[in-house]
Structure formats: structure tokens, C-alpha cells
């Protein structure tokens, strides 16, 4: 790989007769491209450009860089003062009426470095909080599942976790939220979104991706929340029936959950707010808020179910979840959301919507962006369906971490693409030097 790249560079630089070097170049390019495509096929889908911040976060996600000091949360419990003056009447009412059980997918390596920071921040606002791991930990505590760790066991782990939840907590909550240990969620806003729905309606919500499942499937990283009826169908009708839910295990648990939900006639809910802005997100906030940071070929644009604006208009004022949130940043989020307020500005909470009958879903937001239509086939869709690369695993946000290592492959992309990346990289390096 390295030597052929060098060869390519050399032939480009060479001053030898033009036509010869051009045909040599063409031949070499063909060979290299072919080789890379075959390498590609087994490993990844479309190449990825990663916003520098996400690079740092996702690198951390691989567990190879768990010792990155910058992302670590505090060792000791952080003291939180109360806000007695806050009027929590509505939030308290929703906590009783829309009970949410959260379960967090974690593993022994992450108990201290990640999971406990979830517990100290957003996790404590769930009605019930469980940590699913393969090892016991009395401090968290964890539910010890009999599943080996590793990405390849995710699907089995999800099934075991939901079986546990069904067996022990079916009647203790109305909604069941699966999150990762680097997800940050604002549970009050989740309760507000779920409020109109009956837990008896077979439905689930999350950040919806378009491919692989006709009704869409929910990103694993942003987390997905199942109604009680969805949980029942999954555990009672789905998992034991190989025609409904895939037996065994696969890496991309979120696609399988999506397939399984579709087979069980569990609707893929629309988690956008009434203005069409998203509420659940597969990346950190800045990733969605700051426009123009990514290549248009980035799989994210092709994969999202609803065309979402980026920029400040991306995100609902009542957003629910973000992914790749580093442990230390969970405390920052907590401070920004629950403590820091601009003096003298009070916002009257939106009125609670009317409750829907069992089986009924809210209509799609009227204000949705013009491009939003699940039936339309965009150029990006065509690119995906016509790609020579067989996408046999999910380029979920979590794949970013393994893809970013593959910069060698990316080099074979167009020159401008390459230039962009290196410019971004330089800009980033520059910035970190100055800091």
C-alpha cells in the first residue's frame, strides 16, 4: 500500500514523456483503485470526512485512547447545588406520567472512565437507570449479562439487555431507552416528546437512518426509546422467532433492531419537533450546529431519513440526545442546561399536547424542510444503491472511529477531496499549536 502510493507520487512528479507517464499513471491508478476497492469492500462503505472535534471524541470511543486526559471526567463526585426557585411543577408531573427506564450499554473498561459519569450527570434523571455490562460492578452497579464484549456481540447484548428489562421492569416504566455510555440525553425533553403517545402503541423513536429498513432504523449512538408495547413485542414475539428477529449476533445492532421492529409492526416514530427540527442526534452538538464542515459525499447526508439543515437551525430547542459526548463534556452540558441561564429571560413552557389514542401517531411536522420526503430518490441515494461497494455493515456513527484509521484508502479519493482534508487537518494543527 505504502510503496504503491510512493510509486504513484513518483510517477506524478516525473518529467518523463507525457503520454508514457500518463498511461503509466492510468494503469497504476487502475490497479491501485481496484486493490483499494477490494480492501474497501470488506471493511467499509463510503469514505468519511470527520470534523476535528469528532475525531478526538471518536478516537476515544475505540478504547485505544481511553487515557486521553483531555476527555476524562472528574475522579470524585461533583457537588451540585439545587435551584429551589425553579418551578418544576410540570417536570415533576411528567416524571410521574411518562416513566422512562434508561439502560446504558457499557463494558468493563468503561465502567469508571465513562459509565459513572453518565450516572452522575444525565442518567440520574431517568426513573430507572441500569448499566448493562459483562462484568459485575457494585459501585455503578451493573447488570451482568452473559455475553462476551466486543462490537461483534452488540446485537446479542441488546437482546439480552431488553430481555432482562422485560423480565424485571416491564411494569416499572412506560418507555425504555437504550443509550451508549457516550450518549448525553435530556430526559425532561424526552418525556415531553413522548407525552402524547400511549405506551400501548407499538412505536419507537430515535435518530432515523434511511437505508436497509424501509421504515428507517434508529442510530444506536443517539439511542432509541421503545414503548412498553414495542418492548413486549420485541422480547415476547421477536427474539424467540428467527423469522422476526435475527438469531445469533452481528456488529450492527441498530440495523437489526430496526429490521426486527419493522417485522413486528412497531412503527419508526418521528422524533422531530413541531417545527421539523431534529431532537435526537448521532453526533456532538457542534457537529450539527456548525455548517459546512463536511464533504457532501459524507454518508451521513445520504443516510439521514429526514433532510436536516445543519447550522443553528438544525436542532430543536427541546433536543433530547447527542452522541460521542466525552465524559468531561457531560458535566459541561449539565451546567449549560440545568444551571446557566441568561438573567431576566424566562420562557413559558410549551403547552402539553393532547394525548393520542392507542395506535395513533402525531402527523409529520408541517414546517419540515422541502427536501424531506422518504419516497424521493436523491442523487445521494443513487450513489449508495449504485455503489460497487457492498455495504454489509452499518456505517453508523460509531464506524467513524474505525474509518478514520483508514486514511490510506482515502488518499485514493479525488485530489480536491484530499486537499480539503489536509487543509482542515493543518488548520486544526495550527489551532492546537496556538492554544
Ligand X SMILES: *[C@@H]1O[C@H](CO)[C@@H](O)[C@H](O)[C@H]1NC(C)=O
Closest approach of Cβ 42 to ligand X, in Å? 34
* Grid cell digits, residue 49: 470526512
Stretch that binds ligand X, among 84-92, 351-359, 398-406, 408-416 (CB under 6 A): 84-92
Sheet (strand 128-133) strand order: 142-144, 128-133, 100-105, 175-180, 224-227, 203-205, 267-268
> Which lies closer to ligand X via its Cβ, residue 38 or residue 265?
265
Which position among 6, 42, 87, 423 is part of the footprint of ligand X (CB under 6 A)? 87
Closest approach of Cβ 266 to ligand X, in Å? 9
Residue 89 touches ligand X, criterion: CB under 6 A: yes
Q: How many CB atoms lie within 10 A of CB 230?
A: 28
Residues 6+ apart with CB under 8 A from 320: 185, 186, 189, 190, 193, 271, 279, 280
Whether 111 contacts 133, CB under 8 Å? yes
Report the candidate in 239, 241, 243, 222 with the shortest Cα–Cα distance to residue 231.
239
Q: How many residues bind ligand X (CB under 6 A)?
A: 5
Stretch that binds ligand X, among 3-11, 69-77, 83-91, 360-368 (CB under 6 A): 83-91
Closest approach of Cβ 347 to ligand X, in Å? 12
> Which lies closer to ligand X via its Cβ, residue 217 or residue 298?
217
> Which lies closer to ligand X via its Cβ, residue 92 or residue 426?
92
Which position among 265, 373, 385, 423 is part of the footprint of ligand X (CB under 6 A)? 265
CA 79/CA 83 separation, integer angstroms = 13
Residue 90 touches ligand X, criterion: CB under 6 A: yes
Is 402 strand, coil or helix? helix
Which position among 264, 325, 333, 397 is part of the footprint of ligand X (CB under 6 A)? 264
Stretch that binds ligand X, among 54-62, 86-94, 302-310, 400-408 (CB under 6 A): 86-94
Stretch that binds ligand X, among 7-15, 85-93, 223-231, 416-424 (CB under 6 A): 85-93
* Grid cell digits, residue 431: 489551532
Whether 156 contacts 147, CB under 8 Å? yes
What does the binding site for ligand X look like in residue numbers (CB under 6 A)?
Answer: 87, 89-90, 264-265
Amino acid at each position: 500500500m505504502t510503496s504503491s502510493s510512493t510509486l504513484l507520487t513518483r510517477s506524478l512528479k516525473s518529467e518523463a514523456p507525457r503520454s508514457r507517464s500518463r498511461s503509466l499513471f492510468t494503469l497504476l491508478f487502475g490497479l491501485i483503485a481496484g486493490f483499494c476497492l477490494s480492501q474497501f469492500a470488506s471493511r467499509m462503505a463510503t469514505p468519511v470526512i470527520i470534523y476535528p472535534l469528532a475525531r478526538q471524541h471518536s478516537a476515544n470511543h475505540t478504547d485505544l485512547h481511553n487515557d486521553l486526559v483531555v476527555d476524562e471526567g472528574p475522579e470524585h463526585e461533583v457537588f451540585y447545588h439545587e435551584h429551589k426557585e425553579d418551578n418544576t411543577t410540570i417536570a415533576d408531573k411528567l416524571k410521574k406520567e411518562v416513566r422512562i427506564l434508561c439502560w446504558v450499554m457499557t463494558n468493563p473498561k468503561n465502567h469508571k472512565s465513562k459509565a459513572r459519569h453518565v450516572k452522575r450527570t444525565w442518567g440520574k434523571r431517568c426513573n430507572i437507570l441500569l448499566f448493562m455490562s459483562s462484568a459485575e460492578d457494585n459501585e455503578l452497579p451493573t447488570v451482568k449479562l452473559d455475553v462476551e464484549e466486543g462490537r461483534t456481540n452488540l446485537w446479542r447484548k441488546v437482546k439480552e439487555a431488553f430481555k432482562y428489562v422485560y423480565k424485571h421492569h416491564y411494569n416499572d416504566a412506560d418507555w425504555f431507552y437504550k443509550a451508549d455510555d457516550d450518549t448525553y440525553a435530556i430526559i425532561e425533553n424526552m418525556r415531553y416528546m413522548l407525552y402524547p403517545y400511549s405506551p400501548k402503541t407499538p412505536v419507537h423513536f430515535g435518530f432515523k437512518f434511511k437505508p436497509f429498513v424501509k421504515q428507517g432504523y434508529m442510530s444506536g449512538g443517539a439511542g432509541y426509546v421503545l414503548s412498553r408495547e414495542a418492548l413486549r413485542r420485541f422480547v415476547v414475539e421477536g427474539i424467540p422467532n428467527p423469522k422476526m428477529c435475527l438469531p445469533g449476533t452481528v456488529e450492527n445492532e441498530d440495523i437489526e433492531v430496526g429490521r426486527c421492529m419493522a417485522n413486528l409492526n412497531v412503527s419508526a416514530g418521528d422524533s422531530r419537533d413541531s417545527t421539523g427540527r431534529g431532537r435526537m442526534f448521532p453526533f456532538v452538538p457542534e457537529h450539527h450546529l456548525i455548517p459546512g464542515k463536511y464533504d457532501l459525499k459524507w454518508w451521513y447526508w445520504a443516510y439521514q431519513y429526514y433532510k436536516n439543515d445543519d447550522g443553528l437551525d438544525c436542532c430543536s430547542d427541546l433536543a433530547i440526545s447527542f452522541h460521542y459526548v466525552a465524559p468531561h463534556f457531560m458535566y459541561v452540558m449539565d451546567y449549560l442546561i440545568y444551571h446557566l441561564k441568561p438573567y431576566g429571560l424566562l420562557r413559558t413552557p410549551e403547552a402539553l399536547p393532547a394525548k393520542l389514542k392507542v395506535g395513533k401517531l402525531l402527523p409529520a411536522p408541517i414546517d419540515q424542510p422541502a427536501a424531506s420526503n422518504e419516497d424521493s430518490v436523491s442523487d445521494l441515494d443513487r450513489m449508495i444503491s449504485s455503489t460497487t461497494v457492498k455495504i454489509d455493515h452499518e456505517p453508523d456513527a460509531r464506524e467513524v472511529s474505525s474509518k478514520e484509521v483508514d486514511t490510506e484508502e482515502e488518499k485514493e479519493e479525488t485530489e480536491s477531496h484530499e486537499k480539503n482534508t489536509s487543509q482542515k487537518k493543518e488548520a486544526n494543527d495550527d489551532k492546537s499549536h496556538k492554544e
